[in-house]
A and B are shown apart, each in its own frame.
Chain A
């Protein structure tokens, strides 16, 4: 217990003990454990979330290694969720990591104890499915998406923000092979994890009803009310 407390000492000074307790009591599901999901999950473990579901049915491939920080060369060919669990558990053994080696689909069921969802998927069709599940369960979803030097983040919260499929109506829903570098996935994912903590602790401003457009080529951030 002592080592647990000392692990979070530097942030408790910033966030406060109440916030730290809320973080520990919140269960998050990270959908997609690739470029975004790797960083979101690691950041949430380091924030002190004590239970995280990780959902992905992919195997680790060499092109993942330029950005997917939970994996190394020796992991190629292994299931992402299993390697991710090993790495995340080694950071904080008291955090329960629940691997779900499956794909998000309409038959997917959000576990009963999930309080919030991180959308780290790689296509909008699955994102819309996931967002609908979260909306119907009455829990928040923090969306992140990337392409090249650019990305976007928003929080989808029932009755407080537009629905995901309404906000992003007209997008290409198919999975596309996007160009990607680690700074883009890393920065967008770290901001997603920050947004999750803000929603847990009620820290404002947040991204409910706002779309944050990130342009790393020009170092521009544009926050749009939606």
Chain B
């Protein structure tokens, strides 16, 4: 399976890139929790600490699966499938 993963704003700044295609040839699907573990292994940085607070998405970070906020799906247990797009970003609160 192939998943497009996008990082915006401060997450892109931290990682040094804004988009990657994650190839998982042995998988049919993956949860967001597992996806973050996989990304953490591949990017060579402490991405997991940036995204998670314990076993929850860190306050202030949004995760969209095909445009839907995963907090309205199954949170970290939300299943990601082939062709899906996952976006991580912290919205700007200032005005």
Residues of A within 8 A of B (CB): 32, 34-37, 119-124, 144-148, 150-152, 166-172, 175-176, 178, 180, 185, 211, 213, 215, 217-218, 220, 222, 224-226
Candidates B12, B68, B87, B93; contact of A124 at CB < 8 Å: B93
Write out the residue numbers on chain B whose beta carbons fall within 8 Å of the beta carbon of A217: 13
Write out the residue numbers on chain A whose beta carbons fall within 8 Å of the beta carbon of B67: 211, 224-226
Rounded to whole angstroms, the CA-CA distance of A197 and B59 in the bound complex is 34
Determine if A145 and B62 form an interchain contact, defined as CB atoms under 8 angstroms apart.
no
Interface SS majority for chain B? mixed
Interface SS majority for chain A? mixed
Residues of B within 8 A of A (CB): 6, 8-10, 12-13, 18, 57, 59-62, 64, 66-69, 71-72, 87, 89-95
Write out the residue numbers on chain B whose beta carbons fall within 8 Å of the beta carbon of A166: 69, 72
Distance (whole angstroms) from the CB of A51 to the closest CB of chain B? 22
Write out the residue numbers on chain A whose beta carbons fall within 8 Å of the beta carbon of B72: 166, 169
Q: Indicate the member of B67, B72, B87, B93 with the most A CB atoms within 10 Å.
A: B93
Write out the residue numbers on chain B whose beta carbons fall within 8 Å of the beta carbon of A121: 95
Rounded to whole angstroms, the CA-CA distance of A119 and B92 in the bound complex is 13
Candidates B13, B69, B93; contact of A167 at CB < 8 Å: B69
Determine if A176 and B93 form an interchain contact, defined as CB atoms under 8 angstroms apart.
yes
